Chains A and B, each alone.
Chain A
């Protein structure tokens, strides 16, 4: 069975090491829940997994093959949901959704779009300009993007932020259906997220605060180190 793996991953943001020596393995149908306090690198890890941020050390593998070799193939199989909803205020909900579906290859069938909208109860709002949507409704529109075009790997950064209880359930159903179809999920969350059987990855355990801030800079040889 193919695995999505990370080996010895490390991430540096500016001068700070966020995490180091992080390993994970995610089989088809699996889920990985990222936990940890603010700033422990949950978002950074998701961005590394998406290929937005190159890891400072270590490598990502899909089915044993390094992702660095074929980044476009990796982009084809993933959905990324960040903190921002990427919803254009002057386009209607359906227009927003149709654009993202089309960008990911082929015009999505109208019924796929309808199903994606219906999954998060947005049918009634489909023609409404997105600037009139509330924050939670915009989040639901961003979530329906996951269903509007198929992708094997879902990378979700705090997917349930701002959702009401009914939408929380809709999200849990969508996640379960995706995994039942062999899809993989990596999600970060502060609130309990319904992911039965998910492996938990606590990023606090990989915190690299004790590491040298600049391990590649060795100042002990600097000329002024001789000065008493």
Chain B
């Protein structure tokens, strides 16, 4: 029974990864949005190296957050519209485990590519090279939380008209702590202060989101598939 559950869990991750691979444009769009939005600010603010280096952590994090928000709609909507979500809700695997599997696949196809593209933005903004590993570490700790919190918003918006526009409104306020501690850690590194408290708090958010977000999202999906 246990092995069946693990197999079913991995089956969902594998299926969503395969779907993402066959519809590469979706994942690519998120990364392009991240890079293009990131490249936009210097045009608005003017080419001042000191200013750009100072705001780089904030730009990287805000654009990453917006890029994740942009991708949340595809987490459940397609499965909801073609009836796959109600079949998943009827499968022996607990629905919260299914949400977790889908969130994992979503992070692998958005959070991970964003991390890969982040050095490009860092270069564009002349961010101190020494701070790059830490920047990636904050993204590695923070973007999974964004996906998990976002999953709750995406599940709540199912069945609503113009649900896609609703998700950012639901999710944005809840993601502010992730943003604050993500940027705080990089700023602390640049100022030569300890980054540990920020990273610990980012980790705490992830530890809390891991069990609770799937349960909340599963409850919202049950409502949606009634």
Residues of A within 8 A of B (CB): 47, 50-54, 72, 75-76, 78, 80, 82-88, 90-91, 95, 99-100, 102-107
The complex places the Cα of A87 from the Cα of B19 at a distance, in Å, of 12
Residues of B within 8 A of A (CB): 4, 7-8, 11-12, 15, 18-19, 22-23, 82-84, 86-94, 225-226
Residues of chain A within 8 A of B22, CB atoms compared: 90-91
Q: Are B226 and A102 within 8 A (Cβ)?
A: no
Q: Which residue of chain B is the closest to A95 with respect to CB atoms?
A: B18
Inter-chain residue pair count (beta carbon < 8 A): 69
Q: Are A86 and B87 within 8 A (Cβ)?
A: yes
Residues of chain A within 8 A of B84, CB atoms compared: 86, 88
Given contacts A91-B18, A95-B18, A99-B15, contact A104 B83 (CB under 8 A): no
Q: Are A104 and B86 within 8 A (Cβ)?
A: no
Q: Which residue of chain A is the closest to B87 with respect to CB atoms?
A: A86
Residues of chain A within 8 A of B19, CB atoms compared: 88, 90-91
Q: Are A80 and B90 within 8 A (Cβ)?
A: yes
Q: Which residue of chain B is the closest to A50 with respect to CB atoms?
A: B90
Please give the distance in Å from B165's CB to the nearest CB on chain A.
24
Please give the distance in Å from A112's CB to the nearest CB on chain B.
15
Please give the distance in Å from A93's CB to the nearest CB on chain B.
14
Residues of chain A within 8 A of B90, CB atoms compared: 50-52, 75, 78, 80
The complex places the Cα of A102 from the Cα of B12 at a distance, in Å, of 9
Q: Which residue of chain A is the closest to B9 with respect to CB atoms?
A: A103
Please give the distance in Å from A126's CB to the nearest CB on chain B.
16
Residues of chain B within 8 A of A82, CB atoms compared: 83, 86-87
Interface of B is mostly: helix
The complex places the Cα of A50 from the Cα of B83 at a distance, in Å, of 14
Q: Are B83 and A53 within 8 A (Cβ)?
A: no
Max count, chain B CB within 10 A of own CB: residue among A95, A99, A103: A103
Please give the distance in Å from A36's CB to the nearest CB on chain B.
20
Q: Are A85 and B226 within 8 A (Cβ)?
A: no
Residues of chain A within 8 A of B89, CB atoms compared: 52
Residues of chain B within 8 A of A72, CB atoms compared: 92, 94
Q: Are A80 and B86 within 8 A (Cβ)?
A: yes
Q: Are A104 and B92 within 8 A (Cβ)?
A: yes
The complex places the Cα of A82 from the Cα of B89 at a distance, in Å, of 13
Q: Are B4 and A52 within 8 A (Cβ)?
A: no
Please give the distance in Å from A187's CB to the nearest CB on chain B.
17
Q: Are B83 and A103 within 8 A (Cβ)?
A: no
Please give the distance in Å from A218's CB to the nearest CB on chain B.
26
Residues of chain B within 8 A of A78, CB atoms compared: 90
Residues of chain A within 8 A of B91, CB atoms compared: 75, 103-104
Can you report 5 residue pairs joining A to B where beta carbons are below 8 Å apart?
A76-B92, A91-B19, A99-B15, A100-B87, A102-B7
Residues of chain A within 8 A of B225, CB atoms compared: 52
Q: Are A106 and B83 within 8 A (Cβ)?
A: no
Q: Which residue of chain A is the closest to B85 with respect to CB atoms?
A: A86
Given contacts A76-B92, A103-B88, contact A53 B8 (CB under 8 A): no
